[in-house]
Chain A
């Protein structure tokens, strides 16, 4: 029988329950996070129009400084304080 040392980070992953899905976007503030890949803005422009047509109270646009790095903490905080919902857009 061989005993070895665990090579992993041995993380205890925090389980977080998903929020309830809103039944409607009526009156909600929706954030759109552009990860800044080429033409992601084109897609988001269409999405913004659609959201407004469907009664979103407001659509707020955000962008990551670069698609290659995780969104900065401040940006994530700003989104969470300003929006009821957020859609993160991936291009490619």
Chain B
């Protein structure tokens, strides 16, 4: 915060000419000046107002044209009469109320010709047209990021592209005002370090996350999700460095659980994995912009993806917990029900599962297994995780048959136990596969905990989706679920 401009000890009036009540009290201010009680007058809009030329003392006059005094002394109404002692406010009254003015100043017969009472007007510093700009200007002065001034003839959007800050789409200019408003979305201090961001291993503050969240198009209420996602991404388990550097397709996928989904307007319904919802589209993008701009992770630089995937612009969606036959993903991953949470999964996709014929869980789960078996490659077991996103119409088949998460996972586990003779190198005429030494056994397609299941999507469509993962475990990435902070 900016330091408050000092005011002198005594009575100080804050007024604006464009306020009928301020004009009404003009003679009262002359009376106060005559009594040598009024030490200063602060005027918001017209430096010649009020006219104190007839008064016998000359109070200090300040034209508060940048509203610094009004904003930083929290003036909400004019006229405001402040009593200052040792530089601090000890009392204030607002508007015109003869009794209050007389009580505060100890002077009798103030404004004898005036009505007893008139309400004041709004201070220019709380004018809705200016309040945001002021909040930005004054609270942003504590922000530490380097200021970058675009030249008069530069187009703001082109200038940001030219500086290499963009993922290829337009960015919202991160002005002081916008960043300050973004920071109002979190209780955390701007200078708090959130994570050490790869690949350059840069300590990233809340402020830098906010700057990138503004550019991504986030609203302030999205910021806590971005902060928690960044913390999760930068853990050793998730291994954002390797995920960035890999030649593989994957990027960070964010799956959000808990009441925050509704509070910030996330989409878990129609087109949940697609475009069109601000929170879904911008939260994942903000995380990727932090990795790009703070961490220095650029495609063609440390990001060596052969093909990449469109989800690397940002891939974030919410689980439809309310319509789900299953316990929420975050609960399956160890958090309490009702806790806001974000799960990070190193993946890409979606791959489609069409099944419009099954009406029994046993048939449908076989369809799921048949597609899940092909995750990454039909002959590669254990090394690659996946998220199975079950749609409402498919979910209904499980619910109506009384299948919960446990039964679904148990059956998928049985169906995805693979005959390793079919998986070894050369089997099926395909060189890719596991070493010959593993022949003659049964191998699960997914490692323990390597298949995540959640529920999302629109109410129509007998389709579900597989989000394929990257190499898992110590060698690559483990999914990470964290509670979302404030």
A residues in contact (CB < 8 Å) with B: 1-11, 65-70, 92
Contact = CB atoms under 8 A, between A and B. Distances in A.
Given A10-B145, A68-B475, A5 B242 contact: no
Given A9-B296, A68-B471, A3 B202 contact: no
Contact of B148 (A4, A69, A70): A4
Contacts of A6: 145-148, 211
A70 B241 contact: yes
Given A7-B165, A7-B174, A2 B294 contact: no
A68 B211 CA distance: 29
A90 to B, nearest CB: 10
Contacts of A10: 145-146
Given A3-B148, A68-B475, A9 B176 contact: no
B152 interface: yes
Nearest to B143: A5
A7 B215 contact: yes
Given A68-B246, A70-B241, A5 B156 contact: no
**SS class of chain B's interface: helix, strand, loop or mixed?**
mixed
Interface string B185-215: 0000000000001001010100110011001
A3 B202 CA distance: 24
B474 A5 contact: no
Interface residues of B, number: 44
Contacts of B207: 5
11 contacts: A1-B149, A2-B156, A3-B150, A4-B175, A7-B174, A7-B211, A8-B293, A9-B197, A66-B474, A68-B477, A69-B239
Given A2-B150, A3-B148, A68-B471, A9 B295 contact: yes
Contacts of B437: none
A1 B151 contact: yes
A1 B475 CA distance: 49
Contacts of B27: none
B179 interface: yes
Given A5-B174, A7-B174, A68 B242 contact: yes
Q: Chain B CB within 10 Å — which of A2, A65, A66, A92 has the most?
A: A2
A16 to B, nearest CB: 15
A3 B175 contact: yes
Nearest to A68: B242
Interface string B396-428: 000000000000000000000000000000000
Interface in B366-410: none
